[in-house]
Amino acid sequence: MKNAIPDEILLQVEKPARYVGREVNMVKKDPENVDIRFAFCFPDVYEVGMSHLGLQILYYFLNRREDTYCERVFSPWTDLEEKMRENNIPLFALESQEPLRKFDFVGFTLQYELCYTNLINMLDMSNIPVLSCDRTDDDPIIICGGSCAYNPEPLADFVDIFYLGEGEVLYDQILDMYKAHKKAGGSKAEFLESLLELDGLYMPKFYDVSYKENGEIESFKPNHPKARKTIKKVIVTDMDNVFYPEKQLVPLIEVVHDRVTLELFRGCIRGCRFCQAGFVYRPVREKTAPTLLEQAKNLVKCSGHEEISLISLSTSDFTCFPELANGLLDEFKDKLVNISLPSLRIDAFSIELMEKVQEVRKSSLTFAAEAGTQRLRNVVNKNLTEEVILDGCKLAFDGGWTKVKMYFMLGLPTETEEDLRGIGALTDKIVEKFFEIPKENRPKPVTVNASASCFVPKPFTPFQWDAQDTYESFGEKARIAKRSITRKQVRFTYHNTKMSSLEGVMARGDRRIGAVIYKAWENGCRYDGWTDKFNWEGWTNAFEETGVDPAFYANRVRSYDEILPWDHISVGVSRQFLINEREKALRAEVTPNCRQECSNCGAKTFGGGVCYDDIQV
């Protein structure tokens, strides 16, 4: 097989291995011998995309079908893009090295809002018309999934189908229907119409939207008799029997995460009010420990990786965590396989576990405190007290840890200067805690890295109606927080404020944002999530040129009766629940987690998961 890019060019770009495929466990099929060709696109660079668990799962899930060949596509880095355009080389898939235009489906996974210009760019580099309305029956069908698909409107002009939910549920049906349709010689338009039978799929062309004079949405209506008023996400309910790959693609160059990933459960019981994942993935559905141990053994063997990472939104909440952790320790402790435990709550059990599984000296301890005061932590329903943090630090310092990472958010609703100064107060106390242990027990000086992100209100969270701070105000708040730190052992950094502003616009954008994204792409914006590529001027010009006011989307409070751009989509959590949560937030009241007490958020309608845990049959 010949590379799509000639050697002469590959030798002149950074990391040419990004573009040639042939990794360990790559699926090989003859494209001539399949009915359906599916290009799985990740709109970011190779090393990021290859570390994404969803890609690994769907890749093998789709390829388990003999009639389908799923191939991978990543966004070429800017150095290669330049050369491809210069030499008229279209974007290609890694497996066959063939251009995307030949494919039946071109699918994108949308993991963060700042990849939208990359999506446009990848379509354009494939010589596929960027706007859906310009595409013909000869062009592939563009389908998008991933967490950003829950507010699909900013990309509505470019995408044919948004898949809302977990890929394992519907893809077989979609592909079966497609195959039958193709055999019968049906048109693309007819195929999309036939998909209206299925829930979980949103096809923008079947809906019309109109606006009021003040810019708010006046109406959002189906224009096809079969189009649903609300489209509900689809999810897996039986996690033990859902497909999980027996293999994992093992890259031949270093990527962001080089390790076996084990997915413990989906969803989160906590309901932190700023966290979109905590709402859109409800309810919690767990795998059992024996299933996971089996999968771990398999994946370690077929990958040769020396690290297993347990993936979930909050690992300590996994009900079989002790059983799983001990099982993994037994299995792997002599085989020099590391176990990495992100998203762990720091308590006696986890400290003991971390001492067993990892190099004490190397790792650092992480607390997502999110806010500097208890009041504000209650507002966001972050169930973590100062006492717990300080106790955890004490345990860790006694165990030999000297590095602590603290995550905070700037600009949370109701935040005051006192909350910002609380960041300094809390981190200072952690340093003091360290000095409480006897000098001879301190292996190294302590460092506390406090890093602050800028709050971005997201759809399907209780703060979806709230205003985001402007980037100027984020900057001011960051300075206040920084000044509040007195200890020299504390290092404070904060996220790019302009990037967060842009993310704020994209996250809650409507269809009119599509024109801005297109313009920004024309202005040269790419890789908007990369600090060194971020082109603020390209974006501000795009807003000006399209006459769209970013503040309308980012910095405005909405009323409860305004039609929100994503109101036609249901993640199971009811609007009323979100309103209640917001009202409680303003009163700094907390809500118990799903295991303490069900708050009837609405996710019970899926008929599984944590909502039914207490019900004994």
Closer to ligand SF4 by CB, 486 or 600: give it. Answer: 600
> Who contacts 359 (Cβ-Cβ below 8 Å, separation ≥6)?
none
- Output the smallest distance, CB 19 to other proteins, in A: 8
Using the rule CB under 8 A, which residue among 133, 138, 334, 336 binds other proteins?
336
Half-sphere exposure of 294 (CA within 13 A, CB side): 10
Could you tell me if 374 and 361 are in contact, meaning their C-beta atoms sit under 8 angstroms apart? no
- Output the smallest distance, CB 272 to ligand SF4, in A: 13
CA–chain centroid gap for 463, Å, is 18
Q: Which stretch binds other proteins (CB under 8 A): 21-29, 156-164, 193-201, 595-603?
A: 21-29
Assess 603 for contact with ligand SF4 (CB under 6 A): yes
- Output the smallest distance, CB 602 to ligand SF4, in A: 6
Could you tell me if 552 and 510 are in contact, meaning their C-beta atoms sit under 8 angstroms apart? no
Using the rule CB under 6 A, which residue among 611, 614, 615, 617 binds ligand SF4?
611
- Report how many residues bind other proteins under the rule CB under 8 A: 23
Closer to ligand SF4 by CB, 195 or 234: give it. Answer: 234
Q: Which stretch binds ligand SF4 (CB under 6 A): 92-100, 302-310, 561-569, 604-612?
A: 604-612
Assess 563 for contact with ligand SF4 (CB under 6 A): no
- Output the smallest distance, CB 287 to ligand SF4, in A: 17
Assess 306 for contact with other proteins (CB under 8 A): yes
Measured in residues, the chain has a length of 617
- Output the smallest distance, CB 324 to ligand SF4, in A: 22
Assess 86 for contact with other proteins (CB under 8 A): no
Assess 610 for contact with ligand SF4 (CB under 6 A): yes
From the list other proteins, ligand SF4, none, pick the one residue 604 interacts with, judged by a Cβ distance below 5 to 8 Å according to partner type: ligand SF4
Using the rule CB under 8 A, which residue among 205, 305, 568, 582 binds other proteins?
305
ω into 31 cis (within 30 of 0): no
Could you tell me if 571 and 166 are in contact, meaning their C-beta atoms sit under 8 angstroms apart? no
Using the rule CB under 6 A, which residue among 194, 237, 473, 599 binds ligand SF4?
599
What type of residue sits at position 136?
T
338-342 contact pairs (CB < 8 A, 24+): 338/306, 338/307, 338/308, 339/307, 339/308, 339/309, 339/310, 340/259, 340/307, 340/308, 340/309, 340/310, 341/309, 341/310, 341/315, 342/309, 342/310, 342/311, 342/315, 342/366
Closer to ligand SF4 by CB, 52 or 285: give it. Answer: 285
Assess 293 for contact with ligand SF4 (CB under 6 A): no
CA–chain centroid gap for 283, Å, is 17
| CA 467, 472, 478, 480 torsion-angle sign | negative
Residue 44 DSSP code: S
Tokens of 180: 């039958």
Please give the C-alpha separations between residue 542 and each of 39, 253, 487, 546, in angstroms, as whole numbers.
30, 36, 43, 6
Residue with tokens 């996220």: 495
- Output the smallest distance, CB 338 to other proteins, in A: 11
- Output the smallest distance, CB 12 to other proteins, in A: 6
Assess 22 for contact with other proteins (CB under 8 A): yes
Could you tell me if 21 and 97 are in contact, meaning their C-beta atoms sit under 8 angstroms apart? yes
Using the rule CB under 6 A, which residue among 449, 545, 604, 608 binds ligand SF4?
604
What type of residue sits at position 9?
I
Please give the C-alpha separations between residue 599 and each of 67, 270, 574, in angstroms, as whole numbers.
44, 11, 11
Assess 356 for contact with other proteins (CB under 8 A): no
Strand duo 265-266 + 68-74: pairing:
unpaired
Closer to other proteins by CB, 89 or 196: give it. Answer: 89
Separation of alpha carbons 585 and 602, rounded Å = 19
Assess 584 for contact with ligand SF4 (CB under 6 A): no
- Output the smallest distance, CB 574 to other proteins, in A: 48
Binding mask 266-285 for ligand SF4 (x = CB under 6 A): ----------------xx--
Helix 321-332, helix 348-357: angle, nearest 10: 10
From the list other proteins, ligand SF4, none, pick the one residue 283 interacts with, judged by a Cβ distance below 5 to 8 Å according to partner type: ligand SF4
- Output the smallest distance, CB 16 to other proteins, in A: 4
- Output the smallest distance, CB 608 to ligand SF4, in A: 10
Binding mask 21-40 for ligand SF4 (x = CB under 6 A): --------------------
List of E strands, 411-562: 447-454, 490-494
Which residue, 580, 408, 550, is CA-closest to 471? 550
Separation of alpha carbons 587 and 456, rounded Å = 21
Assess 7 for contact with other proteins (CB under 8 A): yes
Q: Count of CB atoms within 10 A of residue 273's CB?
A: 24
Closer to ligand SF4 by CB, 283 or 565: give it. Answer: 283
Please give the biggest Cα pair distance in the chain.
Answer: 79
Q: Which stretch binds ligand SF4 (CB under 6 A): 318-326, 386-394, 416-424, 595-603?
A: 595-603
Assess 20 for contact with other proteins (CB under 8 A): yes
Separation of alpha carbons 411 and 548, rounded Å = 24
The radius of gyration computed from the CA coordinates of the chain, to the nearest angstrom, equals 24
Q: Which stretch binds ligand SF4 (CB under 6 A): 47-55, 213-221, 366-374, 593-601?
A: 593-601
**Beta bridge partner(s), residue 454:** 410
Closer to ligand SF4 by CB, 62 or 603: give it. Answer: 603
3-state DSSP assignment of residue 74: strand
CA angle 193, 115, 259 (to 5 degrees): 105
Assess 334 for contact with other proteins (CB under 8 A): no
Q: Which residues bind other proteins (CB under 8 A)?
A: 7-8, 10-12, 16-17, 20, 22-24, 250, 252-254, 300-306, 336
Q: Which residues bind ligand SF4 (CB under 6 A)?
A: 282-283, 594, 598-601, 603-604, 610-611
